[in-house]
């Protein structure tokens, strides 16, 4: 039992990945293109989140207008158009996101990571 415990707690870095662990670094900083690519990925992710929030707010505003219209046909039409526009915008963003991911998987390239070699 003690031997098994010792084997579990024993850790030798040279046994893993040629002695270099992923958490160990040589002290070098990331190249500029890697930082730029990460920034673009963050921007794309933020744009998708913001579009989702915009859909939610637009749809809720349309639903509130629909509920508070009290049978007024003009307000009902306005509410329906608001909710429809919110759904259409969200569907466009979702389809765009799916197309980008599909192209990344088909071609094996990262479309959301931009690198400029030679700069």
11-69: per-residue pLDDT in tens? 555 554 555 555 545 555 555 456 776 776 778 778 878 888 999 999 999 999 999 98
Is residue 13 in a domain? no
Mean pLDDT of 66-93: 92
Cβ burial of 55 (10 Å; 0-12, 13-18, 19+) is buried
Is residue 54 in a domain? yes
Percent of the chain predicted with pLDDT > 70: 61
Angle at 21 between CA 11 and CA 14, to 5 degrees: 50
Is residue 9 in a domain? no
**What pLDDT does 80 receive?**
94
**What pLDDT does 77 receive?**
95
Is residue 38 in a domain? yes
pLDDT bin (cut points 50, 70, 90) of residue 91 is: very high
Is residue 58 in a domain? yes
Domain count, the chain: 1
Distance CA 71, CA 8 (A): 71
Rg (CA), the chain: 26
What is the domain range of residue 71?
A: 29-107
**What pLDDT does 30 receive?**
53
- Three-state DSSP at 87 gives helix
Is residue 46 in a domain? yes
Distance CA 114, CA 59 (A): 34
């Amino acid at each position: 039992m003690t031997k098994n415990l010792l084997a579990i707690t024993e850790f030798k870095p040279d046994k893993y990945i040629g002695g270099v662990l992923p958490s160990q670094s040589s002290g070098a900083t990331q190249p500029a293109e890697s930082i730029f690519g990460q920034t673009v990925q963050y921007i794309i992710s933020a744009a998708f989140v913001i579009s989702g929030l915009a859909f939610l707010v637009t749809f809720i505003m349309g639903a509130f207008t629909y509920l508070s219209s009290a049978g007024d046909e003009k307000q009902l039409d306005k509410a329906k158009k608001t909710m429809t526009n919110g759904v259409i915008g969200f569907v466009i963003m979702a389809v765009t996101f799916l197309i980008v991911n599909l192209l990344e998987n088909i071609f094996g390239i990262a479309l959301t990571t931009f690198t400029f070699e030679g700069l």
